[in-house]
A and B are shown apart, each in its own frame.
Chain A
Amino acid sequence: MAKIREIAVFAENKPGKIEKITGVLAREGINILAITIASTNGFGIIKLIVDKTELAYQKLKESGLTVSLNEVLAIAMKDRPGQIHDIALVFSKNGINMENAYVLVEETRKQAYLIVQVKDIERAKKLLEKENLKFYDE
């Protein structure tokens, strides 16, 4: 199964945080494929999928940000109603909990992926490999 990695950045809720991140990526010519921002009372986490993951991770870290690199599942989706429901069924059948999920659209705009974060990625991959799901090929 091909793997995809997501960059997470810790951010206190204060103005200029996103700008700092996007500034670093723009300077390095890194393309953001997907971005989500989760915030709670006081702080938040910004998650990114980019085209040059390793470079982006290095540069963000060098700029003094608190960054982590995590493996996630990227499941290919067909553009039709009920698709996410089908995937959700597979997950629940196998007893896997989606911790966090969002959608990534390929650069060619022809294919979309559901990015899913799970607790035990190795176990999830093993279980899902038996199912009829297609995964992102990095």
Chain B
Amino acid sequence: MFWQEEIEVISREELQRIQLYSLQETIRRLYYNVPFYNQKFRDVNLKPDDIKSLEDIQRLPFTTRDDLRENYPYGLLAVPREKIVRLHTSSGTTGKPKAIFFTKKDIDQSAELIARCLIMTGVKSDDILQNMMTYGLFTGALVMHYGAEKVGILVIPAGPGNTERQIALMQDFGSTCLHLTPSYALYLAEVMDSKGIVPQRDLSLRRAYLGAEPYSEETRIKLENMLGIDIYNSYGLSEMNGPGVAFECKYKDGMHIWEDNFLIEVLDPDTDEPVPEGQEGEIVLTTLKREGMPLLRYRTKDIAKIIPDTCRCGRTHKRISRIFGRVDDMFIVRGVNIFPQQIERVLMGIKGVAQNYQIHLEAYDKMTVKVEIEQDFFDGNIEKLLALKSRITEKLKSEILVTPQVELLEPGTLPISEGKAQRVIDNRNL
């Protein structure tokens, strides 16, 4: 099933033609309407007419998070302020947030993309979406909400938290789809389990959309088994509308990125040069349809790769892999680069390990992984726990090449998260 079939299965040549046209049009608007970009073009001695092919994008300047912060609040608008109808912000850990603006047309366009995503996963008119992302300045909930309404399905604007009420909503209204963060999904599954709720028996759930945080394939499988549903990966970032930038189809093998809206580049984060297709690198995105606040070559800091083959579903828009990690999340222990997702992947594949974990960085060479054990795994046998501990240590070591300290914790000891989870605690004062 398709939402906008003609554009979703468009030929590559036609798609690239549209991309080039949209890119040139975006560049003209930026050059003439946004002083910040006008200056950037002057700095490298470029005029809009110099961009004659899609490859020419490599001559254009990047946009970074810092650029967004420095131009806070209204500095990057490409339309008069009066045409803006909505503000979202993206929180940073340091300093000012990033402000993202939508015109009416931008809101409609972001909803169209969500509609494509939902239909792509098999959503039908009788589906009921329980939207468990945060409503407010964060894009996650509202953008999905508008898209689901565009499809015409019932949306329950539950927001995150109050897990017992979430479960009651599912029971009372028969929610079939959930939209939430992976860390909250893990917590939700755990609460259901402890309350004796068997989703397959007691609820009407069919699928869940997980996004806003990177997570591993192992976590998907674990959650699909616990909840008895299909889980689809969703990629987005507030700077690019929020959810709906790329989304998985029924085949759950990579996320289709809507290339008529976003021009994607995958670059080596150190050299800024494109990597060969299929190789990991930093995702850099250019908006092609955005009116209020177009962004050129935005450095997402997300590491992923393009899946080169065409998809069985018939869509011609390229797929990106699961986000391997964020450049910013990477940490270094004993000189080795480690992403939290590597650790998660190992942990979620080991029987006896519960959903919650934390990584504590104590010193240059000392890292402690705190792992909650599964309630049912404990049978009073100390040998079994010691074996689990050494199994975790060994498997982590072979994945990350550093031997961590492993601490086994009781289930429910680590702080729970109903939004984005804090997985890495850095005590090193670097």
Contact = CB atoms under 8 A, between A and B. Distances in A.
Nearest to A64: B412
A66 B386 contact: no
Contacts of B379: 8, 68, 70
Nearest to B374: A66
A68 B410 contact: no
Contact of B378 (A12, A64, A68, A99): A68
Contacts of A68: 378-380
Interface in B338-390: 373, 375, 378-383, 385-386, 389
A121 B389 CA distance: 26
Interface string B393-430: 00000000000000111111100000000000000000
A66 B377 CA distance: 10
B413 A12 contact: yes
Interface string B268-303: 000000000000000000000000000000000000
Contact of A6 (B380, B386, B389): B380
Contact of A66 (B378, B382, B383, B407): B378
Interface residues of B, number: 18
Contact of B386 (A40, A64, A99): A40
A10 B380 CA distance: 7
Given A12-B413, A65-B410, A45 B375 contact: no
- Tell me the dominant secondary structure on chain A's binding face: strand
A38 interface: yes
Contacts, number: 42
A42 B408 contact: yes
Nearest to B408: A43
Nearest to A67: B378
Interface string A14-57: 00000000000000000000000010101101010000000000
Contact of A47 (B375, B380, B386): B380
A10 B386 contact: no
Given A10-B410, A40-B386, A42-B408, A66 B380 contact: no
Nearest to A7: B380
A92 B373 CA distance: 34
Contacts of B381: 99
A10 B371 CA distance: 14
B119 to A, nearest CB: 44
Contacts of A47: 380
A68 B374 CA distance: 12
Contacts of A11: 410
Contacts of B378: 8, 10, 66-68
B373 to A, nearest CB: 7
21 contacts: A6-B380, A8-B379, A10-B373, A10-B385, A11-B410, A12-B409, A12-B413, A38-B382, A40-B382, A43-B407, A43-B408, A45-B382, A47-B380, A64-B412, A65-B410, A66-B373, A66-B375, A66-B378, A66-B410, A70-B379, A99-B381
In the A-B complex, the 9 residue pairs with the closest CB atoms: A8-B380, A66-B410, A68-B380, A68-B379, A70-B380, A10-B378, A66-B378, A45-B382, A68-B378
Interface of A: 6, 8, 10-12, 38, 40, 42-43, 45, 47, 64-68, 70, 99
